[in-house]
């Protein structure tokens, strides 16, 4: 009887070996792809870490340029409009060499459409902008009246003519505030609404601008200049009103321009040290760029872009 009872136990000897072999087989099937997955994850983590290090390094290059602009760095202060300066940070950041290029541009380049802007130093000698006068002030808004006078004198006493393509008036800033205008527009003498293509109110460059554009094209090309024509000694004026729905707003910075045929730009401003800066910093294959407005010493970051490779 004892032998009979012990027989099933003796017959199960070796079953543990089969279970171990099955587990080894299953483990072999799982471990190989799992190790591959872990290896891929480690490589991806290292790649992401390296990418972030390059990004932070390029960011540091932009921040360095911003500090130099703010502190009136000599190499930047000596730049002329449309000139650029390149340099490399003295110390690597996150082990990465950081290269920075800073371009100095006219404030007008951030306001005027690229198809109209004409490069070169503008003339400042034939626009007069009277201080905007407060007409009406309520608990909700303040209304201003503006007057512009254009008096063209040909350089060297010549008889050259000038055709105005565009007139604009820029104020800064009124973030998030409603602005109405221009309205009650009065055109005087040589400044007229004939062939006027559009009068726009745009939020640009951290502020707002009123822009008059005369017809410049015939449907296919920007060839026809049909705006106000000035001969030597001619004078014209333009007046208008606008409302700012913030009774505490007081104009501070203004920039008045006229785009003129023969590649002229005439402008007046009370912010002579105002420019647009384009900063591009690279660390390896990563590039960070920023467009910054400098308005009377204060910096306004308008754009911040990252290019990752």
Give the integer Cα–Cα distance in Å for 180 and 105.
Answer: 29
Q: Are 141 and 244 in contact (CB under 8 A)?
A: yes
Q: Where are the beta strands (DSSP E) in the chain?
A: 83-88, 98-106, 127-129, 133-137, 142-151, 162-172, 179-189, 196-204, 207-214, 229-230, 235-244, 253-260, 264-269, 275-283, 286-295, 298-307
Rounded to 10 degrees, the C-alpha dihedral 33/34/36/40 comes to: 130
Q: What is the pLDDT along the chain (309 residues), one digit of tens a residue?
A: 555 545 555 555 666 767 766 677 766 677 767 666 666 665 655 666 787 888 888 999 999 999 999 888 899 988 888 889 999 999 998 888 999 999 988 777 766 665 555 555 455 567 888 888 888 889 999 999 999 998 887 766 566 788 888 888 888 766 677 889 899 999 998 898 888 888 888 776 667 889 898 876 555 555 556 788 888 888 999 999 999 998 888 777 788 888 876 556 677 777 777 788 899 999 988 899 998 888 766 777 777 888 876
Chain centroid to CA 9 = 84
pLDDT value, residue 86: 95
Instruction: Report domain extents, the chain.
Output: 55-107+273-307, 121-262
Q: How far apart are the first and last CA of the chain?
A: 81
The CATH number of the structural domain formed by 121-262 is 2.60.40
Structure tokens given for 197:
């293509």
Q: Are 53 and 98 in contact (CB under 8 A)?
A: no
Backbone angles phi, psi at 170, to 5 degrees: -115, 135
């Amino acid at each position: 009887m004892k032998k009979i009872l012990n027989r099933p136990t003796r017959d199960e000897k070796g079953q543990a070996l089969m279970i171990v072999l099955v587990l080894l087989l299953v483990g072999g099937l799982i471990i190989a792809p799992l190790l591959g997955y872990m290896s891929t994850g480690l490589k991806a983590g290292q790649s992401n870490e390296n990418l972030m290090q390059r990004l932070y390094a390029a960011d540091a290059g932009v921040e360095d340029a911003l500090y130099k602009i703010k502190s009136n760095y000599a190499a930047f202060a000596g730049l002329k409009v449309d000139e650029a300066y390149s340099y490399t940070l003295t110390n690597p950041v996150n082990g990465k060499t950081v290269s920075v290029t800073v371009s100095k541009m006219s404030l007008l380049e951030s306001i005027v459409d690229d198809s109209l802007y004409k490069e070169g130093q503008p003339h400042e000698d034939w626009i007069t902008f009277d201080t905007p006068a407060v007409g009406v002030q309520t608990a909700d808004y303040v209304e201003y009246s503006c007057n512009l006078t254009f008096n063209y004198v040909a350089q060297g006493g010549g008889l050259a003519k000038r055709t105005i393509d565009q007139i604009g008036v820029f104020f800064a800033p009124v973030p998030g505030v409603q602005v109405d205008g221009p309205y009650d527009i009065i055109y005087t003498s040589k400044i007229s609404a004939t062939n006027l293509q559009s009068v726009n109110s745009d939020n640009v460059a951290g502020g707002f601008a009123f822009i008059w554009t005369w017809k410049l094209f015939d449907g296919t090309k920007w060839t026809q200049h049909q705006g106000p024509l000035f001969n030597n000694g001619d004078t014209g004026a333009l007046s208008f009103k606008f409302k700012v729905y913030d009774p505490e707003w007081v104009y501070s910075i203004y920039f008045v321009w006229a785009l003129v045929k023969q590649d002229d730009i005439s402008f007046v401003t009370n912010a002579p040290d105002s420019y647009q800066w384009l900063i591009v910093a690279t660390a390896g294959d990563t590039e960070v760029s920023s467009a910054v407005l400098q308005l009377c010493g204060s910096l306004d970051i308008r754009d911040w872009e990252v290019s990752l490779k």
